[in-house]
Amino acid sequence: MTQLDTLQATTPQKKKLHPRVKALLRPGFLLGFFILSSSILLAVFPWAFAPYDPNAFDFNAIQKSPSWAHPFGTDNLGRDTLSRVIWAYQVDMQIAFFATFFAMVIGVVVGSLVAYHGGIADVLFGRLVDVTITFPFLVLVIAVVAVLGPGLTNMYVAVTLVQWVYYARLTRAEIMTQMTSDYASAGRVMGYSSTRIIFRHLLPNATTPLITYWMTDMALAILLGSSLGYLGLGAQPPQAEWGVLIAEGRNFITTAWWMSLMPGIAIVVTGLGFSLVGDSLADVLRPRGAS
């Protein structure tokens, strides 16, 4: 039998890439990663990439269609659309972060507390979820914006006020499944504080779905942010934001279609970047064996 064991141990193992590493080499992830890193570069160093001053009027080049000099054309005031789209990265990448991050933090804290302590808090939370899903998301957000007034900061507040419930719901569900596990009950028996059990034992297991959801949510935040910008409730006009740019071009859609269509491409590409990376991360971080 020992012979058998050694024989098995020495059966040549083909050198293979770890499946998680392999998942990261898929075209979907590579593309997403490329898009995201470029977006971040464009957001941080817009001046390095933008060929023109985004706000410089050029009355000799009004509503010029795309050309080598102006790949995305120019707007009704002769501003270079490409440069404006590039400078807008700053704003929209910010939106992706600020419209999601605080909601996530609040949601994670509330969700874990509710899951851990249960009881009346959990019942109330269940009701809150019912109410939240009874409103169309956008209706609730713009109703809050209506009260606070338009603008980016108010938009962050409005989105956070609504969106944290979804994060809390996700966290709660994840923690509830973890709660039944042995180490959680063991921790309770040992008399660990609830904070310690939640943050050391329960939450780490909820990170995968949370990160995946966060990635998707950042893509959605860009869509929402640009929608509000388009509707006039988000970023306000002098500020270059993709939705705002599209709205500015809307009146010229028949004569200068590029004004509206070009910024949209930036939205689609960036959104795609987030969702591609999110999907691949979901595959990579998912416990092995599950499908």
The residues binding another protein (CB under 8 A) are 3-4, 7-8, 11, 19, 127-128, 130-131, 133-140, 142-148, 219, 223, 226-227, 230-233, 243, 246, 250, 253-254, 257, 260-261, 264, 267-272, 274-276
Q: What is the secondary structure of 7-34 as a DSSP string? A: HHHHSPPP----HHHHHHTSHHHHHHHH
The nearer residue to another protein, 130 or 182, going by C-beta atoms, is 130
The nearer residue to another protein, 40 or 143, going by C-beta atoms, is 143
> In the bound complex, what is the minimum distance in angstroms from residue 271's beta carbon to another protein?
3
> In the bound complex, what is the minimum distance in angstroms from residue 85's beta carbon to another protein?
13
> In the bound complex, what is the minimum distance in angstroms from residue 22's beta carbon to another protein?
9
* Rounded-to-10 torsion of CA 116, 163, 106, 270: 120
The nearer residue to another protein, 179 or 231, going by C-beta atoms, is 231
Residue pair 209/170 in contact by the 8 Å Cβ criterion = yes
> In the bound complex, what is the minimum distance in angstroms from residue 264's beta carbon to another protein?
4
The nearer residue to another protein, 60 or 254, going by C-beta atoms, is 254
Tell me the HSE value of 269 on the side-chain side, using a 13 A CA sphere: 19
The nearer residue to another protein, 69 or 124, going by C-beta atoms, is 124
> In the bound complex, what is the minimum distance in angstroms from residue 227's beta carbon to another protein?
5
> Which has the closest alpha carbon to 85: 272, 276, 259, 275?
259
Alpha carbon of residue 149 to chain centroid:
24
| Burial bucket for residue 151 (CB in 10 Å: 0-12, 13-18, 19+) | middle
